Amino acid sequence: MGEIARPQPTRLYRWMVLLFISIAMGGNYYIYDSINPLERIFIDKLGYSATGFGWLNSSYSAAAILTLLIGGIIIDRIGTKKAIAFFAVVCLTGAALTALRGQLWVMVVGRTVLGLGAESMIVAVTTALAKWFKGKELSFAFGINLLIARLASVAADNSPTWANRAFYPQGPAGEPSWQGPLLIAAGAGVMAVVCSLVYWALESRAEARYQLAEAGSIDRIEFGPMFRIRGLSFRQAVLQIWRALREMFGFNPSYWLVVGLCFTFYSAIFPFRTFAIDLFTNKILGAHSEITASEAIKQAGFCNSLLPFTAMIATPLFGLMVDRVGKRALFMMLGSVLIMPVYLMMAYLSAARTVTFTFPWVTAWHLTLEHITVPLLLLVTMFMMGIAFSLIPAVMWPSVAYIVDQSRLGTAYALMTLIQQVGFFLLNLIIGKANDFSHAGPDNPGGYALGMWIFSILGFVGLTFAILLRKRETGLEGHGLETIRAAG
């Protein structure tokens, strides 16, 4: 007698799964961004340099590079439910270590542990979503998952507003605390662990009752039989490894132009976010001497949060637009043009003119109206950056699927992500060194200009990659980036 076919999970069950794994991933995002508002506090209270602060995110990226090589193997071995819980515990451990003591080496260890867990957790969540939503509402589920994760980044940037007592426990005029905000990040790690355990229970229950799809494929760099060198002489082994590497990296020029744009673009975005709140705070204080440091960091955090907030809304809209009209290489060019002047505008233009926003906010468990006054300069430049940050990723990542053969797509994405993390590692250190070299800070706001020039040069190089990509894709060797449109 044949086995009775089990039903598919109900829609409500699927959305419960989506909610819990998205909140778990949001905790991961919050922990990563929780240090953004703390640079000046670390420098003034703990004696860090800007380079030391840069190491906090560079160490994360170094660990993330390792996880791109082994994380997928772990997920394959233990399954998504155990992997998400395991990596959530690793993230919590990293957050707890970071909040434990003020020594730089302890925090670097904590951020390294976070990097070991966070990127692999993102891969595991992506794989789980494919299991639950493949053939159903997969794209929408991915969009909701990313929306919740980016809301966590917005919350971290705005933590000086909604958690001001954690930053200034003795009041706005008192001494700032470096540990309070990091304890909130550890709390986000606890939330991630709890939600991952709820997901484990939901999936275990579903495995006994429902028919689940196979887990989605995992993007990772494959080390196949070409790398086997046992029994070969040294010369033969070197030649074998060389041939294997040529095969692994043997993608067409259009792919490498996209990778070049990925490296330059993201290296100009995420390392900028690492140092942006300190830049904005001192820019605001320099233009408005009557504002306290507590108020300035609120404004700066709000401005920094405009980047993930804009992307949260605009990225899916740009994705729909590009699917309709094509012209992918052209849109990557436009995004690159948009981002180029932003950094120099921040460095050299005045922040004297302001705009005030009023919106409902929860303070001490009471709903109040919060008033945030921000410089018009920062509002305009962050909006421009947000549009670029929405447009280029919405076009760039899907474009790889048109350029690379389906059988090598996982390797292509993993390699692209690895090179992106190399950019994060390098630029966090380079910008930290630049700020130290120029003595950037409250007494020398002009010292940030060197770092802004570095970001602008990256924008120019990225534009060059985008122009070369469009030239190639409009020629005989194109892959349809400019012409392919969604049917219907």
Are residue 197 and residue 240 in the same domain, yes or no?
no
Q: Is 286 within a domain?
A: yes
Q: For residue 341, give the 3-state DSSP assignment.
A: coil
**280 and 209, same structural domain?**
no
**Residue at a domain's end among 175, 194, 218:** 218
Domain boundary among 193, 218, 243: 218
Q: Count the helices and strands in the chain (H runs, E runs).
A: 18, 2
Q: What does the pLDDT read at residue 1?
A: 44
Same domain, 246 and 211: no
130 in a structural domain: yes
How many angstroms separate the CA atoms of 377 and 369, rounded?
A: 24
Residue 1 belongs to a domain: no
- Are 45 and 194 in a shared domain? yes
Residues 6 or more apart whose CB falls under 8 angstroms from that of 405 comprise none
pLDDT at 144: 85
Residue whose C-alpha is closest to residue 356's, from 310, 289, 288, 307: 288
The count of structural domains within the chain is 2
Domain residue limits at 380: 230-488
Beta bridge partners of 367: 362
Tokens at residue 189, please? Answer: 């790690």
284 in Cβ contact with 291 (< 8 Å): yes
Task: Give the pLDDT score at 398.
Answer: 82
Q: What is the mean pLDDT of each run of 10 residues along the chain (488 residues)?
A: 65 89 95 96 95 96 85 78 93 96 95 93 84 73 85 94 91 90 97 96 84 60 55 63 63 89 95 95 83 89 93 84 84 91 92 83 69 88 92 85 77 85 96 96 92 95 94 80 70
- Domain of 61, CATH number, reads 1.20.1250.20
Count of other CB atoms within 10 angstroms of residue 136: 14
Phi, psi of 121 (to 5 degrees): -65, -40
57 domain residue, yes or no: yes
Say if residue 236 is in the same domain as residue 193: no
Residues 246 and 377 in one domain: yes
Residue 223 lies inside a defined structural domain of this protein: no
Residue 2 counted as domain residue:
no
* In a shared domain, residues 142 and 181: yes
Of 167, 186, 218, at which residue does a domain stop?
218
- Helices 449-473 and 409-437 cross at an angle (nearest 10°) of 150
Regarding whether 242 and 171 lie in a shared domain, the answer is: no
Residue 237: inside a domain, yes or no?
yes
Please give the Cα distance from 327 to 470 (Å, whole number).
9
Residue 459 lies in a domain: yes
Helix axes 409-437, 376-403, angle to 10 degrees: 150
Instruction: Please give the Cα distance from 226 to 228 (Å, whole number).
Output: 6
| Cα–Cα dist 380/345, whole Å | 10
CA separation for the pair 335, 470 (Å, rounded): 13
Claim to verify: residue 234 and residue 175 sit in the same structural domain: no
Q: Same domain, yes or no, for 192 and 242? A: no
In a shared domain, residues 165 and 270: no
Q: Are residues 263 and 395 in the same domain?
A: yes
